[in-house]
Amino acid sequence: MRLLISGASGFVGSALVSRLVRRPNTEVVGIFRGPPNRSGDSFNLAALIGNLDPDQDWSGMPRNSDALIHAAARVHVMKDAATDPLAEYRRVNVDGTLNLARQAAAAGLRRFIFISTLKVNGEATEAERRFSADDAPAPPDPYSVSKWEAEQGLRELALRTGMEVVVIRPPLVYGPGVKGNFQEMAHWLKRGIPLPLGAIRNQRSMVNMDNLVDLIVTCIDHPAAANQTFLASDGEDLSTPDLLRRTAAALGKPVRLISVPVWLLQTGAAAVGKTEAIQRLCESLRADITKTRRMLNWSPATSVEEGLKRTAERFLRETRN
């Protein structure tokens, strides 16, 4: 079996490489933006070099590969410096993705696995509701709009070419080496900074890297995955205070939570231009993975505790000083 992984040096892509290079009778080809830094699992990895641009020539792509896992993207950023963020997201995540997919289909690729985002479903869920894979999409920002448009383009390409398409929409992904907001939260907890988040009563889905990689690997050759959309999660939703407590426990640190009313948090955040950040902390965003479990006979094997433990161990090693 031959598998291609775009974004092979990224957070998700490198975890996939680590898993798949150990799979028997499997040739893995990493797709990189530039010559890869040869270390660890990527040392003996075949490489295909190119940018995720609309006019990139992918003629060097191996023919008749079994699957391409597309983990490369222009990712969501809180403060986008682009003059027209939606246009830039579309250039990479839509036009660049579809250019890659069209050339892959022409090269005889059997299955294209697209890593999308739960935010295609919407910004937040209310009360006890969860988003399902077949809900009407409602992407709230340029990043999720670009992902949804790419999904639609891939579906059309699948109809025209016969190449199978699988879409996976994960929520927040965490695991060893995670950056961004999760890493910032871990720094707060390690320093023992009091956090005014004790009164939040939300529920949010997350997925640790081991579970996401396991789901992607399942989708490589599962016959029921063809031309389907699946949501991912750990199967357990956490409130923001619960996440802080359990992450602090994994770090071996006490957590200091102050119960400030949510309305006051929102007012203060608006005053300093942090509305989007506080929304992420206060609102619920839940994924229903019933379809994923049923159609693929898949369940998240790694618990939240174990996922946080592995994440914390790596974080502590990297921040020892």
- CB-count exposure of residue 223 (10 Å: 0-12, 13-18, 19+): exposed
Over residues 193-248, the pLDDT tens digits come to 999 999 999 999 999 999 999 999 999 999 999 999 999 999 999 999 999 999 99
Instruction: Report pLDDT for 79.
Output: 56
Q: What is the mean pLDDT of residues 244-268?
A: 94
Instruction: Report pLDDT for 196.
Output: 95
Tell me whether residue 204 is in a domain. Answer: no
Nearest-angstrom CA–CA distance, 248 and 188 = 10
Q: How far apart are the first and last CA of the chain?
A: 43
Tokens 């090693």 belong to: 317
Tell me whether residue 252 is in a domain. Answer: no
pLDDT of 80 > 70? The answer is no
Tell me whether residue 260 is in a domain. Answer: no
- Return the SS3 of 241: helix
CATH of the domain at 52: 3.40.50.720
Tell me whether residue 175 is in a domain. Answer: no
Percentage of residues of the chain with pLDDT beyond 70: 95
pLDDT of 297 > 70? The answer is yes
Instruction: Report pLDDT for 35.
Output: 74
Over residues 152-198, the pLDDT tens digits come to 999 999 999 999 999 999 999 999 999 988 999 999 999 999 999 99
Tell me whether residue 267 is in a domain. Answer: no
Over the chain, what is the mean pLDDT? 93
pLDDT of 40 > 60? The answer is no
Annotated catalytic residue 143:
yes
pTM for this entry: 0.94
Choose the catalytic residue: 112, 143, 148, 315. Answer: 143
**Amino acid letter, residue 232:** A
How many domains does the chain divide into? 1
Q: What is the mean pLDDT of residues 87-100?
A: 96
Tell me whether residue 268 is in a domain. Answer: no
Instruction: Report pLDDT for 264.
Output: 93
Residue 265 CB partners (closer than 8 Å, separation 6+): 196, 197, 200, 278, 281, 282
Tell me whether residue 250 is in a domain. Answer: no
Q: How far is CA 242 from CA 197, 200, 216, 237, 255, in A?
A: 10, 10, 27, 9, 10
Give the structural domain span for 66: 2-169
Q: Which residue has the higher pLDDT, 272 or 237?
A: 237
Residue 1 CB partners (closer than 8 Å, separation 6+): 23, 25, 26, 27, 66, 220, 221
Residue 192 is encoded by which pair of tokens? 């023992």
Tell me whether residue 272 is in a domain. Answer: no
